Amino acid sequence: MTIRKHFLLGMISLLALMFASPSLAASTPPKLVLQITVDALRGDLPDRYYDRLGENGFRYLWEKGTVYTDAHHAHANTETIVGHVTLATGAQPAVHGMIGNVWFDRTENRTMYNIEDDRYRLLTAGAGVDKNAEIDSTQKAAKSDGRSPSSIMVTTTGDELAINTAGRAKVFAVSVKDRGAVSMAGHAGKAFWFSKASGEFVTSNYYYDAYPEWVNEWNAQKPAAAYSGKSWELLRDQGSYLFGDADDKAWETDLAGFGRTFPHPYGEAGGKYYTTLLTLSPAGDELTLAFAKELIRQEQLGQDDVPDFLGVSFSSTDYVGHIFGPSSLETEDNLLRLDRSLADLLAFVDQQVGLQNTLIVLSADHGAPEVPGYLNEFGISAGYADPQSWDKQPAFAALKKKFGIDKELISGYNHPYVYLNHEVISQHKLGPRQVEQAVAEELLKFAGVAQAIGSSALREGNLPDTPLNQAILNNFNPNRSGDIYVVFEPHWFINDFDGLTVAATHGSPWKYDTYVPIVFAGAGIPAQHIQRRVLTVDVAPTLTALLGIKPPSGSAGVPLVEVFGQQGD
């Protein structure tokens, strides 16, 4: 379904709902909006292990809420910041501006990390990027540890709630990842994230001049140190797991002695990779949960008649998937433990606020690809691409000769964009569109490349109206996107993170990366499973409609009518 058709069908359903009811807002406004984002939770993963889930985590949401079983992101670059901001704003990346975890800023002539902002330092000195954290190497592009939401070009659900209530609504977000927290807190809220450098939850002076005292007290207890000398062990008997006999696969990554088999040792607190290893396991989600519960208690969320907002982004599923793959014993055990964490969070919210007073939505910033080695076992072609080698290929040598160029034609690759050497192109008085097209044609000849489109062609907008081209256009912002958008073939991707070889990397427009759950629950939401195609841009306008406030400024989605007890298309 194209975006245009999705929008028209959604508007028809919305108009029908408006005629049936003069107000879309819930009859009793919720006291708390709880937006849960599970990083890399592909849409099928909860169902895969459903028979072993507890009663009060995923099962509560799946059995008591409105579950959309065919939900997808509609943008092509399915990376963390892109999906988080899409869920928060209801806008496509072309509009909200977060087109990738990093992009090349030609005005500053350097690669930018998505939420870096040197105007706003971290409140904890020395708590910036952990230079040993190879698994999150995208942060290394940042020239400072300053962080803010300033690069997000539109409003979020939390922003709109704050605007509507004259700032009385409390808006917070928590995650292991800085970009997971900052994106959900929006411009008007406050964000906290886990610092691998300090082992604490931190924030920047965009949000506070000094930490609230309860944060200082929580960090002083050094909760991360509680895992010192311990290991990630299996929750159940190994024989009960679907992947119980697959605990040691050649494609899995052994980072800093964490190992490829259970138990996975964290080492001693203070060790070079100690805090990084915590994030590669359920410990990362457990720390996020503990901080979120303390925030709810100390900030008294949901305790008055003004709705508050809390975004909680659980990151461990993503990190575990990168290192071990989604079809691994580690991912399976991590999801069973995440289920317990969700149950703990929901029980705490029920105690503090009441689930009947809480509007819950759960989704994911992106899905997850299978490891090529795993797919190869089933006879499915899959592999790894190496963009760093492209400019060195004979085809490019011939192309440079044709243009009379003796220097590198490609200046760099920041997924998913190729950046051309504009200085060389200008010196030789070549037309940018001509070079883009020629380079794109050569890229299409390389193994693993499915599509390559120049930015000039995207600006002109004369491309065939295909789902793939539409997804690329949804991701295209002329001020931030690179010169050529590259799409790898299904099951092909880059597996090198600054020298660290990982098992799997998301970031494609293929269904395994776009497929996510969307579940609304609590606050009188009906229990039902809906099997029609919906998009993640629909989440934010559904939340704002339930709250009776205007949608975020760049919202492209429509309210999901079934959440209001009406029938969809």
3-class state of residue 453 by DSSP: strand
Tokens in use for 99? 């087109």
| Cα 392 to Cα 408: distance, rounded to the nearest angstrom | 9
Tell how many helices (H) and how many strands (E) occur in the chain. Answer: 20, 21
Single out the catalytic residue among 66, 69, 78, 80.
Answer: 80
| Cα 29 to Cα 356: distance, rounded to the nearest angstrom | 10
89 is catalytic: no
Tokens in use for 195? 């610092």
Write down how long the chain is.
Answer: 569
Tokens in use for 228? 């010192």
Q: For 21, which DSSP code? A: -
Pairing of strands 492-493, 231-232: unpaired
Tell me whether residue 506 is exposed, middle or buried, using C-beta atoms within 10 angstroms of its C-beta: 0 to 12, 13 to 18, 19 or more: buried
Q: Is residue 419 within 8 Å of residue 483, measured between CB atoms? A: yes
Other residues' Cβ atoms within 10 Å of the Cβ of residue 217 = 12
Tell me whether residue 237 is exposed, middle or buried, using C-beta atoms within 10 angstroms of its C-beta: 0 to 12, 13 to 18, 19 or more: exposed
Give φ, ψ of 361 to 5 degrees: -135, 135
Give φ, ψ of 291 to 5 degrees: -70, -40
- Give the distance from CA 354 to its chain's centroid: 28
* Termini Cα distance of the chain: 13
Residues with active-site annotation? 80
